[in-house]
Amino acid sequence: MSNRWVFQTGNSVKSVVWKYYATYLFTWLISVLFAHFASGFPIIDSRLIPIISLLITVPTNFLLSKFWVFHKTNLKEVRRYGSQ
């Protein structure tokens, strides 16, 4: 599937790599801080903390990647592969 899409960034590679890792660091910090503070509330079951954390961090990571890291990225389907 990866050979069906071509990513062309308008930014330099260093800029994209820096933003990419900054995004993951930020969402990791959100996850750790949420787990720390949520574990202090006895009303929240400790088995649900990782699930709630994922429900927060996955959309955050996606939105940051889409609108900050790859905001000038053009996604083109390679025509020779068709719509297989």
Residue 68: what pLDDT? 87
Residue 24: what pLDDT? 96
Asked if 46 contacts 39 with a C-beta cutoff of 8 angstroms, the reply is yes
Q: pLDDT tens-digit profile of 36-75?
A: 999 999 999 999 999 999 999 999 999 999 888 887 644 4
How far apart CA 64 and CA 26 sit, in angstroms, is 10
DSSP H helix total and E strand total for the chain: 2, 2
Indicate the pLDDT class of residue 10, thresholds 50, 70 and 90. Answer: low
Contacts of 33 (CB under 8 A, 6+ apart): none
How far apart CA 56 and CA 9 sit, in angstroms, is 27
